[in-house]
Structure 1
Amino acid sequence: MKAIIYTSVGGSDVLELTELPVPEPGPGEVRVRVTISGVNATDWKCRQFGHVRGELLYPVVVPHHDGSGVIDAVGVGVDPARAGQRVWLWDAAWRRPGGTAAEYVVVPQRQAVPLPPDVSYEIGASVGLPAVAAHACLLAGRDAPDRLGPGALAGRRVLVVGGTGTLGHAAIQLAVWSGAEVVATASSPDQERRVRAAGAQHVVDYRAATAAADVRAVAAAGVDLIVQVAASAYAETDLEVLATGGTVAVYATEGRGQVTLPTAVLMGRNVRYQFVLGTTLPPAAKDVAVGDVAAAVGAGALDVGDASGLPLLRFPLERTRDAHDAVQAGSAGKVLVDVATF
C-alpha cells in the first residue's frame, strides 16, 4: 500500500511516500481503507519535536490521527457485519505507529465510528481530534453537564477565541447545538463571516482596545466559559470578561506558552483554568466525547466547508509535506489529504 512515513524528527522534508505491507487487523481491531486523512497541529508537532523528549516511539511512523473511509476487514471478536461500513477515525496514531496517511490503517474497533450515509467523508475526516478536544473544553466549566446535546448548555454564555480554527469551529458548533449563547472573536470581515456561518450569535474583535467592553455589551455579567487559543496573549482580557466562578479552557500554546496570572484576583472570583489536550484525555472522557460528537454528526450539527465557516484545503497523498506546512503556517481552514477515491 502507499503510505507517508517518517523515521526521524524534523521538518516536513522528513516525510516520504513509500510502499508498506497492507496491515492485518488483530483481535478487536478493524482495517479501514482510508478515503481522506485529516491533518492537525498535533501531527506536525509530533513529527518535528518527537513523541517523548524529542524521540520517536517507533522506528517508522505513519502520521495523522483523524480520517474517514470504509472498513474492509475485521479481526477476531469484531462483528463481521462491520465490513463495508463507512466510518470516521480518531486517535489512529496515538501510541500506535500507523496513522491515516496511508491507503489502509488498523485501529481498535471503538476508534472507527459509523459515518451516516448522508454525511460526507470530508466531515468524517475533520471531526476527530478537534471535536473531541472542543467537547472537553465545553465541559470544563463549573457545574457543567455530563454530556453535550440539545439543551445541555442552555442559559450559558460561551466565548470562543480563535473560532476560525478547526477546534474553535467545532467548539462553536457543539456549543450552539447544546443551547449555549456563543460569542466568537474575529479580526477581519472574512473571519466574522466564518464564525457567524459556524453559528456564533455575537462577534467581537479581541484585539481591539474595546474588546472587553464589547463582550460585556452582550454578556453584562460576563461569560461563563472561555474556550481559549492564546492564554498568555489574552490573559488580562479574559479576566475582564469572565463571570465570577467562570472557567478558561485552554487548548493551545503560543509563543513560550507562559501565563502570568493575578492569584488573589482569581481566588477572590473563584475562577478556574483548565488545560486541554485531546490525545491525553482519559479513555472514559474520550468515549463520552466520541459518543456526543457522533450524535452531533448524525444530527447535522457539525459541518465543514466554506458555507459553514471552515474552508477545506486539499492535497493528494504525495503532497503531504505541503499539507503539514499549510497547517504549521496557520492556514485558514481544515487541511485534508486525499488518499483514495471510492
Structure 2
Amino acid sequence: LPFFTTDMKKKFFANLWLTFHSWSPGIAIEQPDVSELLKYDGARTIKMRPWSAYTRTTQFQIENEKVTLTVSIGQTAETNNAENRGAYNLGKVYTFFRFSFENAQGFEKMEKYYIIARKIVAILTSQNNICFEEVYLSQRNSEQKYFKTGICKIFDSYENYSIRQWHKVIPIFSVFDYIPNLIDGIVNGKVNSLLELLPEDNKMVNRISIKNVQDLCTALEVSYQLDDKRKREKDALIEELKKNIKNTIAEFTKAHNEIDVNKETTMSSAFQYLDYTLKQKILTLYNENSDIVDEIVSKYSLPSVNENSIASFVKLRNNKTHSGTVEWGESAKIYTPLFAIVYASFFKYIKLPDEVIKSTLLQIF
C-alpha cells in the first residue's frame, strides 16, 4: 500500500473485506413467479431478496479485540444506472467476508485476519489453493455507507486456484453458529494437521502420494488427542498402567539402592511414552465415527474399514519410514474414509452436532 503516509500506516481500517465465489451467491436472488417465466418479450426482472435473508453475522475475540464477522452477498454494479441500462452485462453478485472492528487496527494485523478467512474457506472447500477476488479496507461515512480506503494485493505460491463448485463444498450457513469455535481452533493451531492434508493444486485433487499417507497418519494421531476434555475408558487404563509401573520401579529402587534405575537404565524412557498403537487409535476413532465413515465407504464402494485394513494402511507409512519401500496394493483405498475421520474429529472438537457433521462431510466426500 505505497500511497499511505507514515502516520496512516500506524493504524488502519474499521473493516476488512474479502470477496470470493466459493458458495452460490444465487441465494440472494429472488426466484421469479410463473408469470415472469412465461414472458416472451425478453423483458425479465432480476430482483434481490431482502438483505436479512442472506446475511449472517457473528462475533469473536482475538487477543482481547472484539471482531464482528459478516458473511453476505454483494453486487459489482448498480443495475438501474445510466451506465448499465440497456447493457447485456448487468454486473455480477459475489459472496464476501467482512471483519469489522470497534478500534483501529495496526497494519501488521491485516495478514492475521486474511489467514483466518483463508483457512475458514479452505476447511469448508477442502482445498488450500483459495483465492479471494478482492481484498480491501473500508470505513463508514456519516451516512453509514462504506467506502474503500485501500486495495490490497495478496501474493501466494499457488499455481492455480480452487475451482470447486458451490454444491461440492460445505455451506457456510450450515456451520455458521460454530464459526467462533472454528476460528478459535484456527488461532490455537488445532486445525493445522487437517490443513496439511488439503491439496494446494487442482492436479492433486483425488490423487494421493505416500507423503499424503504419512501426513494422514500424523493427523489421525493428532485427532485422537484433539479434545483433552474427552477421556476414553482405555486411555484411563493406560494411565493406570503407567502409575503401576512407576510404583514397581519405586519399590525396586528401595530394595536395590546399588543401581540408579533412572540414570543407569532405560527403564524410565521405556514406558514414559507408553501408549496405544496408531492402529488401535485409528480403530477407536473409526468406532466413534462409523456412521459417517460407512456412508462414505458405501458411496464409493470402498473396502471396509476394520482392524485388518487399518493395519495395512499403517504398514504403508511404516514401510516407507523404515525401509523406503512402498507397495500400495489395496491399502490406500481407505484413505478417503480415514481422511473423513480427521474432519469429523475436528468438527466434534468445535462442537458441531453429529447430524450436521454427517450431512456436511457428505458434501465434500
Does TM, normalized by the shorter one, top 0.5? no
TM-score (norm 1): 0.26
Q: Greater share of strand residues, 1 or 2? A: 1
Q: Whose RCO is larger (CA < 8 A, sep 6+)?
A: 1
Q: Greater share of helix residues, 1 or 2? A: 2
TM-score (norm 2): 0.25
Work out which of the two has the higher radius of gyration on C-alpha atoms and give 1 or 2. Answer: 2
